Homo-oligomer: A and B are copies of this chain.
Amino acid sequence: MKKYQLMAPGPTPVPSQVLLAMAQPMIHHRTPEYQALFTEVRAGLKALVQTAQDVIPLACSGTGAMEAAVVNTLSAGETVAVVNAGKFGERWMEIAKTYGMNIVELRAPFGDTVPAARLAETLRTRSEITAVLAQHSESSTGVLHDVRGYAEATRGTGAILIVDAVSSLGIANLEMDTWGVDAVVAGSQKGLMLPPGLAFCALSQKAWARVATSRLPKYYFNLTEEQTWLVKNEPRYTPPVSIVVGLREALRMLQAEGLANVFKRHDRLARATRAGVEALGLQLFPRATPTPALTAVTSPRGIDSEKIVAAYAQAHNITIAGGQGEMKGKLFRLGHMGYAAEFDVIIALSALEQVLADLGVPVDFGASMRAAQKIFAEKA
């Protein structure tokens, strides 16, 4: 028997108590029961996004919510700056292009970041920029971008800052209101420990002011209409009821742990994973601040990283992820977000040692786990 382990950078494991809550009989979305549920999850989402604004749930994947943020706040012909340093940065590029925007690309090599100073300089010289599109955690490269710095750079300009927090919400600290982020986009299947199928979008006052002037057509993703229903504590369309039921359980778990502790846990898991990987002589893929959501590792010289992914699956029944797009074959990614704890890291590293040895890489067995244990032994 090999116990199945889901250690990809999303979807992430769903706790049994959440799965079982979702397995309760279906309820209707226009009932007092749903209203009570909706009241609770709306409050929980605000706390999680650290905002006084409503967090609008949308029945779609994270990409749908990215599109919603763009088509509601912008218009064709506007100029947007895109922080592009990975596959999800490219997605912002594609969305902006699809909707007829002029793009100022702030590109960094995959594995690197765009410093806030560079964005600030761009905004100073290109006053026509009306929005900045960025990831918080770029899960294709394992890099955490400096969203706090981007918010500082954007504040006081005419531009709004739209942040894809799909793989950072409930994982890395993101203070929407305090930092001054204008749109936060997230999904259910990462830090929220839920199945995919529910996404979120929260807008600042500055962003809502832009909504009023946006001329792009939208129907399903019309956030103004969504908000009209939300203030009545009702969903606009039939919501993914079972995921919303699961969301209540997941939010309760996060609240019980405390948001600061949730972030600390992810930081510990990430540091332990990185220490373990490096103890085996492997190189981390990021050359900038790594995300606490996952660890991207450069494949050892001469080894296609897809072989590592396959060995994890075939020999150990563990799903990890390889590289996407041009990074395919060059890196592998270990997720440690959401319903993830210390011994999951130990398992991932234990399997890594076996996988590398099987692929002919000399391995000092136990070295990665020893390094991780030292991190876990740190107090407070």
* Chain A residues within 8 Å of B, Cβ to Cβ: 4, 6, 8, 10-14, 19-20, 22-32, 59-64, 67, 94-95, 98-100, 187, 189, 195-198, 216-221, 237-243, 313, 319, 321
Contact = CB atoms under 8 A, between A and B. Distances in A.
Nearest to A20: B23
B28 A237 contact: no
A196 B321 CA distance: 29
Contacts of A10: 238
Given A60-B60, A238-B11, A22 B25 contact: no
A241 B197 CA distance: 8
Contact of A25 (B14, B237, B241): B14
Contacts of A243: 195, 197, 240, 242
B11 A29 contact: yes
A184 to B, nearest CB: 18
Nearest to A239: B196
Copies of the polypeptide in the assembly: 2
Given A26-B12, A64-B59, A198 B197 contact: yes
A59 B196 contact: yes
Nearest to A26: B14
A294 to B, nearest CB: 13
A28 B61 contact: no
A96 to B, nearest CB: 10
Nearest to A98: B219
Given A64-B220, A197-B239, 4 more contacts: A6-B25, A22-B242, A195-B242, A196-B238
23 contacts: A4-B25, A8-B28, A10-B238, A13-B26, A14-B242, A19-B23, A23-B23, A27-B319, A59-B59, A59-B197, A60-B64, A60-B220, A61-B240, A62-B238, A95-B219, A100-B217, A195-B242, A197-B239, A197-B240, A197-B241, A197-B243, A220-B221, A242-B243
Contacts of A8: 28
Contacts of A59: 59-61, 64, 196-197
A220 B220 CA distance: 11
